């Protein structure tokens, strides 16, 4: 048999097409849409946060021509209900049933801890657009896990410093008993006490309980100089309103991380006016990127963006940088990760870089509620990065 016979017209066409694909690069050869799994809360006390993150993420993708690294996107969505018990099954559904290339989520730290374990076990790329569980970018850090939001202790530390500088001597803290609340209080306490203050009582409720009355009675009796509270979403709306209704707002200042008043001011109305909070974002940050982001978001969704929308937007911005570096070829994982690690993101919050553990290094602003705005009144801590917590990357 002649092994060198002339190729048929069909074989020549196949060879020509294959050569064309190779010339276009592996991304084109790989074909197909990039599958993005959004695992976020769409019901419950954090529902509005999940929606804002989704909107922000999709806005950044649209601004990038609807593609990442040249590939179109197919979204897969799961409502995680902010329920840690359901997290492994939900994450596995997206990874094993839907075969997503990238996982984006979530809001609740307990869910994120379980989700990041599944991502680590399956080596799936995960970008966290909110949940601040300190350990995820500390001892549990991994090459495939990134965060574009914050770590829970960061805004707490900043407020601890500010309150100590304001010469407050005693504080009572109140929060839900789970990683986010505990770590937020931990950050506040450490820097408040380092500055000469004392946390005289830590009050805890189970998540997502909102029966605050007996706790407010206890706060009134304790008469601290200040109350530091971590609540978010629907819980934050109710706590701030109940605090004012109990007559405490005029006697004991209520402060917290910005989650206490972000995305909630419409519902909190008068009860939030004048409150001080600390966060890596402020509505009125007058920088070109924030002005453009706010205008585009409001045009697309007919509502003002909040910190959660901004974090979702930055999750997509980070992915754009990674995907562009590998021209859409996710099999080049090491190059993709390297590009994301070295990213300098033009964020609506200001310039954003990532630490060794893949957590944001950013300014934490001091904000004051004025009308429907969390107005930036200063920088509480510049370029805040987490202390080393045993990340081995
Ligand atoms: C968290 O669970 O990590 C979290 C939830 C809402 C706002 C901020 C942090």
Give 24-47 pLDDT, tens digit per residue. Answer: 345 444 569 999 999 999 999 999
For residue 380, count CB atoms less than 10 angstroms from its CB and return exposed for 0-12, middle for 13-18, buried for 19 or more: buried
Count how many domains the chain has. Answer: 2
Q: How far apart are CA 307 and CA 364, in angstroms?
A: 12
In a domain, 363, yes or no: no
In a domain, 377, yes or no: no
* Residues 268 and 162 reside in one and the same domain: yes
Cis check: omega of the bond before 263, within 30 degrees of 0: no
* Residues 197 and 121 reside in one and the same domain: no
CATH number at residue 124: 3.40.50.2300
pLDDT for position 31: 60
- Ligand 1 atom closest to 132 (CA): 3
pLDDT for position 387: 83
In a domain, 20, yes or no: no
In a domain, 15, yes or no: no
**How do strand 34-40 and strand 71-79 relate by DSSP bridges?**
parallel
Cα 132 to averaged position of ligand 1 atoms, centre (Å): 6
In a domain, 388, yes or no: no
**pTM of this structure:** 0.92
Cα 150 to averaged position of ligand 1 atoms, centre (Å): 10
* Residues 131 and 158 reside in one and the same domain: no
Q: What letters, b where the CB count within 10 A reaches 16 and e where it falls short, cover 52-69?
A: bbbbbbbbbbebbeebbb
- Ligand 1 atom closest to 259 (CA): 7
Which residue stretches of the chain have pLDDT < 70?
Answer: 1-31
pLDDT for position 19: 38
With a CB cutoff of 8 Å and minimum separation 6, the contacts of 178 are 108, 109, 110, 207
In a domain, 62, yes or no: yes
Q: Which of 279, 300, 316 is at the close of a domain? A: 279
Give 349-378 pLDDT, tens digit per residue. Answer: 999 999 999 999 999 999 999 999 999 999
Residue among 44, 50, 232 to mutate when testing ligand 1 (max atoms within 8 A of CB): 232
* Residues 146 and 292 reside in one and the same domain: yes
Cα 85 to averaged position of ligand 1 atoms, centre (Å): 17
Q: Which of 279, 313, 331 is at the close of a domain? A: 279
pLDDT for position 102: 98
In a domain, 211, yes or no: yes
- Tell me the percentage of the chain whose pLDDT exceeds 70: 92
pLDDT for position 335: 98
The half-sphere exposure of 48 on its side-chain side, counting CA atoms within 13 A, is 18
In a domain, 17, yes or no: no
Q: Which domain holds residue 303?
A: 34-150+284-358
Cis check: omega of the bond before 241, within 30 degrees of 0: no
* Residues 268 and 353 reside in one and the same domain: no
* Residues 133 and 177 reside in one and the same domain: no
């Amino acid at each position: 048999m002649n092994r060198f016979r002339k190729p048929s017209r069909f074989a020549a066409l196949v060879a020509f097409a294959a050569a064309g694909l190779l010339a276009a690069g592996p991304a084109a050869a790989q074909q197909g849409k990039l599958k993005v799994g959004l695992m976020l809360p769409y019901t419950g006390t954090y529902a509005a946060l999940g929606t804002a993150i989704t909107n922000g993420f999709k806005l950044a993708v649209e601004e990038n021509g609807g593609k990442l690294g040249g590939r179109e996107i197919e979204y897969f969505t799961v409502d995680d209900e902010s329920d840690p018990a359901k997290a492994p099954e939900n994450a596995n559904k997206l990874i094993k049933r839907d075969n997503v290339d990238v996982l984006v989520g979530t809001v609740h730290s307990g869910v994120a801890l379980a989700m990041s374990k599944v991502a680590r076990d399956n080596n799936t790329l995960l970008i966290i657009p909110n949940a601040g569980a300190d350990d995820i970018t500390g001892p549990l850090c991994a090459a495939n896990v990134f965060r574009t939001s914050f770590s829970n202790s960061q805004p707490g530390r900043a407020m601890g410093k500010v309150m100590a500088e304001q010469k407050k001597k005693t504080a009572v803290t109140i929060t839900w008993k789970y990683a986010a609340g505990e770590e937020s209080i931990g950050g506040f306490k450490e820097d408040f006490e380092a500055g000469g203050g004392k946390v005289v009582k830590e009050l805890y409720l189970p998540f997502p309980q909102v029966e605050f009355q007996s706790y407010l009675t206890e706060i009134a009796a304790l008469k601290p100089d200040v109350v530091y509270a971590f609540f978010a979403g629907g819980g934050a709306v109710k706590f701030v309103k109940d605090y004012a209704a109990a007559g405490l707002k005029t006697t004991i200042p209520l402060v917290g991380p910005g989650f206490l008043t972000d995305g909630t001011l419409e519902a909190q109305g008068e009860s939030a006016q004048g409150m001080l909070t600390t966060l890596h974002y402020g509505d009125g940050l007058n920088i070109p990127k924030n002005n453009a982001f706010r205008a585009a978001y409001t045009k697309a969704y007919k509502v003002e963006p909040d910190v959660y929308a901004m974090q979702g937007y930055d999750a997509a911005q980070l992915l754009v940088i990674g995907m562009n570096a590998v021209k859409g070829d996710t099999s080049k994982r090491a190059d993709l990760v390297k590009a994301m690690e070295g990213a300098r993101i033009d964020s609506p919050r200001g310039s954003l870089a990532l630490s060794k553990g893949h957590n944001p290094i950013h300014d934490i602003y001091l904000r004051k509620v004025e009308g429907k705005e969390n107005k930036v009144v200063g920088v509480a801590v510049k370029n805040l990065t987490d202390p080393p917590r045993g990340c081995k990357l």
